[in-house]
Amino acid sequence: MKILIVAPLHYPGELAKARAATPPGEPLPLFPPNMAQSFWVKALRRLGHEVHAFYRTESALPALGRLSQTRLGRGLSQRAPQLNPDYRLRNRRLLAAARVLQPEMILITGDNEEIYPETLAQIKAETGATLVLACGTSPIVFSHANERAAAPLIDLVTAVDYYHGIQWLELGARQMICLPNTACDPDFHRPFELTDDERAAWRCDIGFVGTLMPPNLYSRRVRGLEALRGFDLGLWSVHPVPESLRPYLRGRALGEEMLRILSASKIAFNTHGDFVHYGGNMRLFELAAIGVLQIVDDLPGVREWFTPGENIITYSDEADLRDKVAYYLAHPEERARIAANARAHVTVHHTYDQRMARLMAEVARLRG
């Protein structure tokens, strides 16, 4: 099947590095390795599909792109995206690309501010493509006007969080499945052998890499980390962190470096954002694959995909979190056993190849 992924391009420098490191004769990556879309592409290619990308965040003209990023431009784009001249040009480019490519499936990621519903409608009318929305967040909290208006055009929503999928159905999407768009790639997400210098620089009892701001979206995560301040805590984030946690911030981490950093932790902390009530963030499956004990908030999806006490540790509140962290720090053999079980579990049941195979089976069913 011919697939067009319509997504933002974050960290273009990381993509350039990944392309430069690609061996001769191998297909070039379309996204950097710190974006889940890079693993979607690899898995879809292994399944025999032809994959293309349209970067919806790429300005059609640099001058217009700079205008869009001013305070006035951002306000206009959010309130009346159809009036943004840069967005209009991007939509024309997408339509032109679809006319040439004639995709059978368009996979668009969430948080879409730039692509208009009328553009998607025209592409569907001209190509007959199945429109799939891969959504990792709540449309109540994060969606843009364009996304909500386009909901009736969506043939299938793949929702990380089951409850988010229901919200998309209420907005008019035709069908949804609860299918995390994150997983593990066993060749990339794996235990790492660290040098003595790396281990000395990154060693900590509890490690965390992720976003902590704004507080109204990540208060559960912040409360959990604040409860662990009495332990040897290490934080890495590409974004600002609350003042209460700044003493524990050690720097930034992306891609493979993030996995290597967390490999130096005895326990990896993972709590979902306040807008997630079912579970399934990116770190859930990545941490399991690198062979480090993961402690995570107790949510329904976590219990669906893992078995607490066997291949993951869950906590109910901050007191429970502290008690369990203290216990597993004092019991390294149990820590190692659960971490090994987690890796064995996800490399069998939660790979990107399996995710994309399930997605393509659903699309094939829709297309008849």
Going residue by residue through the chain, which has 368 residues, state the pLDDT in tens, using 9 for 90 and above: 999 999 999 989 999 999 999 999 999 999 998 899 999 999 999 999 999 999 999 987 766 656 556 665 555 556 667 778 889 999 999 999 999 999 999 999 999 999 999 999 999 999 999 999 998 889 998 888 899 999 999 999 999 999 999 999 999 999 999 999 999 999 999 999 999 999 999 999 999 999 999 989 999 999 999 999 999 999 999 999 999 999 999 999 988 999 999 999 999 999 999 999 999 999 999 999 999 999 999 999 999 999 999 999 999 999 999 999 999 999 999 999 999 999 999 999 999 999 999 999 999 999 98
pLDDT in tens, 61-78: 766 656 556 665 555 556
Domain 2-183+352-367 homologous superfamily, CATH: Glycogen Phosphorylase B; (3.40.50.2000)
- Domain residue limits, the chain: 2-183+352-367, 196-349
Q: How many other C-beta atoms can be found within 10 angstroms of the C-beta atom of residue 58? A: 14
Supply the DSSP symbol for 270: E
Task: Mark 6-32 as b/e (b = at least 16 C-beta within 10 Å).
Answer: bbbbebeebbeebeeeeeeeeeebbbb
Report which of 35, 38, 49 is spatially closest to residue 2, judged by C-alpha positions: 49
Report which of 263, 323, 272 is spatially closest to residue 290, judged by C-alpha positions: 263
* Class (C level, CATH) for 196-349: alpha beta
Whether 2-183+352-367 shares its CATH topology with 196-349 is answered yes
- Contacts of residue 119, Cβ cutoff 8 Å, sequence gap at least 6: 91, 94, 95
181 vs 71: CA distance, rounded Å: 32
End-to-end CA distance of the chain: 14
pTM, two decimals, is: 0.91
Report which of 174, 177, 108 is spatially closest to residue 147, judged by C-alpha positions: 108
Type of residue found at 301: G
